[in-house]
Amino acid sequence: MASLLLRLASHVLYAYTGPPASPKSSNPDLSGIFATTASPAHALEQLLKKSGGTWPPSPTFDSSWPAPLRVYHATYELVAPIFPVLESSTSGAENRQTIDAMRARIRGLLSGDPTFDAAQCSADMKAVLSVLQDAEAGCWSGYNNQSMQSAMLGFCACVCFLRHAYRWGVSPVVREAQIETSLSFPLELDEPWLLLQRYFGFTSPGGGLSTCLYFNTRGVDTNFKPFYSSVHGLPQLHQKTADWDARLFLETEHRSLPMYRLIAETISACSSFAGECPLDALTSLKEANTVFQDTYRFFFENMKDENISHALWLAYLQGYTGWALPGADGVVVNGVSGGILPVPPAAEEALHLPVAQRDWLRSLREYDIRAKVQSAIERCADAPESTVAESWQGMQDELQKMVQKLRLWRMGHMSRMISYEGVHRPERVFMTAGRSIPPEGEVSDETGMVQHLRGVLQERLIQTV
């Protein structure tokens, strides 16, 4: 389970690669070190602006959309009750029939096929595309920028659900869908998606944490209950598992927003001074550390079987949000997270993260505060006033505390995820979050898959220094 919080911590902390060579001086000038052209504070402001004014985002749903878009919600209402099943079939022939029937239903509903007697689902594609193109131009009549942005977030979540339902045909996902290597979507799902990709700035054909969860929330007042549910109509334990799965991601981000602001404030304060570390910067960083600790405590205190069933999570949530089909420009899409390596390849990051999120993370990566602080310490080493170096050493100490917290996070993540990923599901091919289906012959059973996952997580832990 990965979130923007982990990515942020990674980019703040991983960008540091050791002290750069820098001259020492008895009268050090630090202005060049801490100057910045990419303002994290501005990038964070833009992230909020493009998320409906809040973080996590504030989507609104069907009643807030222009009429041509509401057919997608109407389609969801007819598809959602029949998408999940309590008992999975292990018969390839039976599953093939189920998948094909679901795809025919979605195509028929959106195309207005009279066989389905659901005129409320028929998409007027000319009107749909006109509405979405107007959104790109920022000119929805009767909407301000924030209300239009919120409506687009919710609409994206709806189309995302329908694309996943079409992709898998049934949930829990089954081998018959997993082993497919290509799939043609109806134009009613493809053409809006292309515009949504362009509008939000991501490339994945399946979406990611943003489109599956961040854009699909009813907000803090409902504990971030998902609006579009992949467990519609299933028993209470399924509902609770889905609700807590979403809540862990979304409330973690909600609790992290003060930390994001404090880190931006820390950088702004550092950038304003040329000598001793400003007290405001050190104070903000200490407060950010406290928020980080409280946030990861919330995450791990609630990531437990009592809230998120081991047996049900992998079957109904990890599988549904996977993809494992050739994606944009031939990139194979391996699930929703796209990995949280220290500096993921730009193409991989663009698959899953909208541009506003990438810009925020990029501003932190480019600023590279750990390297700047270390460089300040190096330059101040021979300064007559030793308190100058000591003040920057205080910043370095706080950053190192964040590294240790991230290490603890990763160790906890590794130990908890193993039990969730190791559940046996006979109807499916072995698949893990963030990687989906491994190459043929690489993993033979769940134990092998767990060992692979453990190795990946251990590698990330080693990198966290």
- In this prediction, residue 33 has a pLDDT band, given cuts at 50, 70 and 90, of confident
Per residue in 67-78, pLDDT tens?
A: 999 999 999 999
- In this prediction, residue 1 has a pLDDT band, given cuts at 50, 70 and 90, of very low
Of residues 335 and 182, more confidently modeled: 182
Per DSSP, the three-state class of 124 is: coil
Mean pLDDT of 215-235: 96
- In this prediction, residue 182 has a pLDDT band, given cuts at 50, 70 and 90, of confident
How many Å apart are CA 157 and CA 170, to the nearest integer?
18
- Give DSSP secondary structure letters for 405-464: HHHHHHHHHHHHHHHHHT---TTS---BTTTBSPPTTT--SHHHHHHHHHHHHHHHHHH-
Torsion region of 425: left, alpha or beta (phi above 0 gives left; psi -120 to 50 gives alpha):
beta
Report the share of the chain in percent with pLDDT over 70.
Answer: 75
Please give the pLDDT value at position 23.
44
- In this prediction, residue 428 has a pLDDT band, given cuts at 50, 70 and 90, of confident
Of residues 179 and 433, more confidently modeled: 179
Q: Which of 86-90, 185-189, 292-296, 422-426 has the lowest mean pLDDT?
A: 422-426
Report the share of the chain in percent with pLDDT over 90.
Answer: 52
Mean pLDDT of 77-86: 97
Torsion region of 223: left, alpha or beta (phi above 0 gives left; psi -120 to 50 gives alpha):
left
Q: Which of 39-53, 146-160, 213-227, 337-351 has the lowest mean pLDDT?
A: 337-351
Please give the pLDDT value at position 416.
66
Please give the pLDDT value at position 339.
39
Q: How many CB atoms lie within 10 A of CB 446?
A: 16
Mean pLDDT of 414-421: 67
- In this prediction, residue 181 has a pLDDT band, given cuts at 50, 70 and 90, of confident
- In this prediction, residue 36 has a pLDDT band, given cuts at 50, 70 and 90, of low
Of residues 461 and 305, more confidently modeled: 305
Of residues 196 and 25, more confidently modeled: 196
Please give the pLDDT value at position 342.
56
Of 150-164, 329-343, 384-398, which has the strongest mean pLDDT?
A: 150-164
Distances (CA, A) of 444 to 415, 430, 451, 452: 22, 8, 11, 11
Is residue 453 within 8 A of residue 432, CB to CB? The reply is yes
Tokens of 214: 């961040």
172 preceded by cis ω (within 30°)? yes
Q: What is the pTM of this model?
A: 0.87
pLDDT exceeds 50 at position 24 = no
Please give the pLDDT value at position 258.
96
Q: Which of 10-19, 227-236, 244-253 has the lowest mean pLDDT?
A: 10-19
pLDDT exceeds 90 at position 118 = yes
pLDDT exceeds 60 at position 307 = yes
Of 24-33, 45-54, 410-419, which has the strongest mean pLDDT?
A: 45-54
Q: Which of 145-149, 247-251, 282-286, 367-371 has the lowest mean pLDDT?
A: 367-371
pLDDT exceeds 80 at position 446 = no
Of residues 111 and 352, more confidently modeled: 111
Please give the pLDDT value at position 447.
58
Of residues 450 and 174, more confidently modeled: 174
pLDDT exceeds 50 at position 356 = yes
pLDDT exceeds 80 at position 434 = no
Please give the pLDDT value at position 121.
98
Is residue 5 within 8 A of residue 251, CB to CB? The reply is no
Phi, psi of 449 (to 5 degrees): -65, -40
Mean pLDDT score across all residues of the chain? 83
Please give the pLDDT value at position 438.
55
Is residue 398 within 8 A of residue 285, CB to CB? The reply is yes
Residues forming beta bridges with residue 436, ordered by sequence position: 432
Please give the pLDDT value at position 414.
65
Please give the pLDDT value at position 462.
46
Is residue 215 within 8 A of residue 159, CB to CB? The reply is no
Mean pLDDT of 27-31: 61
Please give the pLDDT value at position 395.
87
